[in-house]
């Protein structure tokens, strides 16, 4: 199924913009696509490192060509779109490592592309947003690299602890990313056997001590009442299953669940733009993450798009299949970048 979907997506022609130079490169073994305005600039430009979505099983830089071209043109910056290895052929850590390696390489040669080392932004949608947080965790331990100026995270996946949040209940059957499909993507990318689905869906994989530790960050009380009023019934977790935890504890690692990174890590994150969509099982991940960042003093801009669904950014610039909400998201990102 993943290979078939990738094949279909590759048949979509990639449009060119006469004002943007597009160059396909390799940083080591990692394929990247560079977008840069053709017009000369009197000063160094801002730079964006973009990680595409697709649940770690779909997606490529080509799928986000319209978005990256538009971003480069409207904000007069350089965009590096990273193509990382996908599941099920490779697990999620391989993909994150690819993104980390490509980002480090780019950060070390910014002058080659006329990029200001004080204005580099990490950006991603869906699991690309997850990668933004995961890569930043690694960068914090490497002070020799240019400091990241900001994060842009568009409807990211951020935690594998609680799949009974209000958004998971309210939008569990929404097309493009139902709750079952989101679980399938997570299992594919983290190499978790499907037999653990019920245990993880019902929270049996979380030990009582960790459940108590993370309650202050994962509590549904941190989600605004207006979102819970749209339909939510509290469900207590199933009894702890030791085997479910031992076999799948990597779903709880901060690299795979960035929402539960330690306070001292979160506190070092840069200014962040968070975009959530109403028709999205991951909506409440964003709401919880927003509070986590704010509690640690990280400046946060949050935009909630009421008429949008998960994955809508993929339709941006489409000739026959596009949604107005994709333009809303892009305009939010452009405005944020211009005002940094």
pLDDT at 2: 65
Q: What's the gap between Cα 128 and its chain centre?
A: 3
Q: What's the confidence (pLDDT) of residue 320?
A: 72
Residue 321: Cβ within 10 Å count: 8
DSSP 3-state of 31? strand
Of 96, 58, 100, 126, the residue nearest 250 (C-alpha)? 96
Which pLDDT value is given to residue 9? 64
Q: What is the pLDDT of residue 12?
A: 66
How many CB atoms within 10 Å of residue 61?
24
Q: List, by residue number, the catalytic residues.
A: 126, 280, 310
Angstrom distance (rounded) from CA 176 to CA 330: 19
3-state secondary structure of 27: strand
In this prediction, residue 93 carries a pLDDT of 93
For residue 299, what pLDDT is reported?
98
Q: What is the pLDDT of residue 6?
A: 62
Is 20 in a helix, a strand, or coil? strand
Q: Which residues pair with 332 in a beta bridge?
A: none
To 10 degrees, what angle do helices 92-108 and 127-139 make? 60
Q: What is the pLDDT of residue 142?
A: 84
* pLDDT in 10s for each residue of the chain, 340 residues: 666 666 566 666 678 889 999 999 999 999 999 999 999 999 999 999 999 999 999 899 999 999 999 999 999 999 999 999 998 889 999 999 999 999 999 999 999 999 999 999 999 999 999 999 999 999 988 888 999 999 999 999 999 999 999 999 999 999 889 999 999 999 999 999 999 999 999 999 999 999 999 999 999 999 999 999 999 999 999 999 999 999 999 999 999 999 999 999 999 999 999 999 999 999 999 999 999 999 999 999 999 999 999 999 999 988 777 899 999 999 999 999 999 9
* C-alpha span between 320 and 143 (Å, rounded): 46
Query: What is this structure's pTM?
Result: 0.95
Q: What is the pLDDT of residue 11?
A: 60
What's the pLDDT at 28?
96
Residues 6+ apart with CB under 8 A from 72: 20, 35, 36, 37, 78, 79
Side-chain half-sphere CA neighbours of 108 within 13 A? 11
Q: Enter the CATH code of domain 2-164+254-338.
A: 3.40.50.1820
Q: What is the DSSP letter of 54?
A: S
* Cα–Cα dist 166/229, whole Å: 9
CA distance 23 to 148: 23
């Amino acid at each position: 199924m993943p290979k078939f979907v990738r094949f279909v997506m590759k048949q979509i022609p990639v449009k060119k913009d006469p004002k943007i130079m597009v160059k396909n490169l390799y940083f080591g073994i990692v394929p990247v696509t560079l977008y840069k305005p053709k017009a000369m600039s009197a000063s160094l430009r801002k730079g964006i490192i973009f990680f595409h979505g697709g649940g770690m099983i779909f997606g490529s830089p080509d799928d986000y060509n319209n978005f990256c071209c538009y971003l480069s043109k409207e904000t007069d910056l350089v965009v590096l779109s990273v193509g990382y290895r996908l599941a099920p052929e490779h697990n999620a850590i391989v993909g994150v490592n690819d993104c980390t390696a490509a980002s480090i390489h780019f950060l070390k040669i910014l002058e080659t592309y006329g990029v200001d080392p004080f204005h580099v932004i990490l950006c991603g949608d869906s699991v690309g947003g997850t990668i933004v947080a995961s890569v930043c965790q690694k960068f914090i331990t490497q002070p020799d690299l240019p400091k990241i100026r900001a994060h842009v995270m568009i409807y990211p996946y951020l935690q594998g602890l609680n799949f009974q949040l209000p958004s998971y209940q309210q939008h569990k059957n929404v097309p493009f990313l139902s709750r079952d499909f989101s679980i399938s993507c997570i299992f594919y990318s983290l190499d978790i056997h499907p037999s653990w689905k019920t245990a993880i869906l019902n929270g049996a994989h979380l030990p009582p001590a960790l459940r108590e530790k993370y309650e202050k960050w994962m509590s549904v009380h941190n989600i605004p009442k207006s979102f819970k009023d749209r339909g939510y019934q509290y469900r207590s977790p199933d009894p702890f299953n030791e085997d479910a935890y031992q076999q799948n504890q990597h779903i709880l690692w901060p690299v795979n669940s960035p929402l539960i990174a330690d306070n001292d890590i979160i506190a070092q994150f840069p200014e962040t733009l968070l975009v959530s969509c109403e028709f999205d099982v991951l909506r409440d991940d964003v709401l919880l993450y927003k509070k986590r960042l704010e509690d640690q003093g990280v400046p946060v801009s949050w935009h909630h798009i009421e008429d949008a669904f998960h994955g809508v950014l993929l339709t941006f610039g489409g000739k026959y299949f596009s949604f107005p909400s994709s333009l809303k998201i892009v305009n939010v990102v452009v405005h944020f970048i211009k005002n940094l």
